[in-house]
A and B are shown apart, each in its own frame.
Chain A
Amino acid sequence: MDNGARLRADGGRPVRAGGCDGQGPLRRGQEGPGRERRGAAGLGPILSPLCPGTSPRAAEAPRSGAPRRAGPRQPSEAVALAGAGAGGVEQKGAGRTTLLKQRPTALPDLDNETPRVMLKRIIRTQPQVSPLAPRISTHEETEEARSELPSRRVSSMGEMQLPDLVPENTSIAAFHMTKKRKKLSISEFERAADKRLPQNQGKFGKSSLPSSFYRSLRISLGSLIPPDTVEKRGLLRRPKYRKAIDMEAFEGGVEQNMLKRKAQDYLVDSQTASGIQTALLASDAEIMLSNTELFVQPQLDEQSQNKLSALEPQLSDSKTSAQRSKISAPEEARLAGLVSSVGTNKGRTQRYSKDFILDCEHIDRMSPVSPEPPANQQEEKQRHSQQSNPMEQLSGSEEVVVGTPEHHANSGYSEHLEKKLSKKAELEISAAEDARAEAEMAPSAEEGIAEGGVEHQGSPDAGVEAGSVGRRSHAFSSEKSGLKPLEEAVEQADDQADELEDQAITIELDGPEEEPTEDEAEDPESEGKKTIAAAAEVFAVSQRSPLQAKPVPKSSGASRRKTREPAVASSLIKKIFSHYVKMPVARDAFKIVEKCSERYFKQLSSDLEAYTTHAGRKTVEMADLEVLMRRQGLVTDKMPLRVLIERYLPLEYRKVLIPVAVSGNKVIPCK
Chain B
Amino acid sequence: MEAAGAEERALLTQRLKAAVHYTVGCLCQDVAEDKDVQFSKQTIAAISEITFRQCETFAKDLEMFARHAKRSTVTTEDVKLLARRSTSLLKYITQKSEEITSSNMDAAKEGRAAGEQETAVTESEDSNMA
Contacts and interface: CB of A to CB of B under 8 A. Distances in A.
B34 to A, nearest CB: 8
Contacts of A540: 85
Nearest to B66: A614
Contacts of B42: none
B68 A610 contact: no
Contact of B61 (A614, A623, A631): A631
A158 B94 CA distance: 99
A329 B88 contact: yes
A612 to B, nearest CB: 10
B87 A544 contact: yes
B77 interface: yes
A330 B81 contact: no
A400 B87 CA distance: 40
Nearest to B34: A275
Contacts of B91: 329
Interface string B22-50: 00000000010001010000000000000
22 contacts: A275-B35, A275-B37, A278-B35, A329-B88, A330-B88, A446-B88, A448-B85, A448-B86, A544-B87, A607-B84, A610-B84, A611-B81, A614-B65, A614-B69, A614-B81, A615-B69, A615-B70, A623-B68, A627-B65, A627-B68, A630-B61, A631-B61
A610 B35 CA distance: 39
Given A448-B85, A543-B87, A607-B84, A614 B77 contact: yes
Interface in A124-171: none
A656 B75 CA distance: 35
Nearest to B89: A446
A331 B77 contact: no
B64 A627 contact: yes
B68 A547 contact: no
Q: Determine the interface band of chain B, counting residues with CB < 8 A from chain A.
A: 10 to 19
B88 A332 contact: yes
Interface in A620-636: 623-624, 627, 630-631
A330 B84 CA distance: 16
A167 to B, nearest CB: 74
Interface string A323-356: 0000001111000000000000000000000000
Given A615-B68, A616-B69, A627-B65, A610 B86 contact: no
- Grouping DSSP codes into helix (H, G, I), strand (E, B) and loop, the B interface class, with mixed when no group exceeds half, is helix
Contacts of A331: 87-88
B121 to A, nearest CB: 20
Interface of B: 31, 35, 37, 60-61, 64-65, 68-70, 77-78, 81, 84-88, 91
Nearest to A616: B69
A279 B43 CA distance: 13
- Grouping DSSP codes into helix (H, G, I), strand (E, B) and loop, the A interface class, with mixed when no group exceeds half, is helix
Nearest to A623: B68
B35 to A, nearest CB: 5
Contacts of B69: 614-616
A540 B84 CA distance: 10
Contacts of B70: 615
B73 to A, nearest CB: 14
Interface in A535-570: 540, 543-544, 547
Contacts of B78: 614
Nearest to A635: B64
Interface centre among A330, A610, A623, A627 (most CB of B within 10 A): A627
Contacts of B86: 446, 448
Contact of A630 (B35, B64, B84): B64
Contact of B87 (A278, A547, A615): A547
Nearest to A631: B61
Contact of B68 (A279, A330, A611): A611
B88 A610 contact: no
A614 B68 CA distance: 8
List of 10 A-B pairs having minimum Cβ-Cβ separation, nearest first: A275-B35, A627-B68, A615-B69, A614-B69, A615-B68, A332-B88, A614-B81, A630-B64, A544-B87, A627-B64
Nearest to A612: B68
Contacts of A614: 65, 68-69, 77-78, 81
Contacts of A275: 35, 37
Nearest to A329: B91
Contacts of B35: 275, 278
Interface in A274-293: 275, 278-279
B37 to A, nearest CB: 8
A543 B84 CA distance: 12
A279 B31 CA distance: 11
Contacts of B85: 448, 540
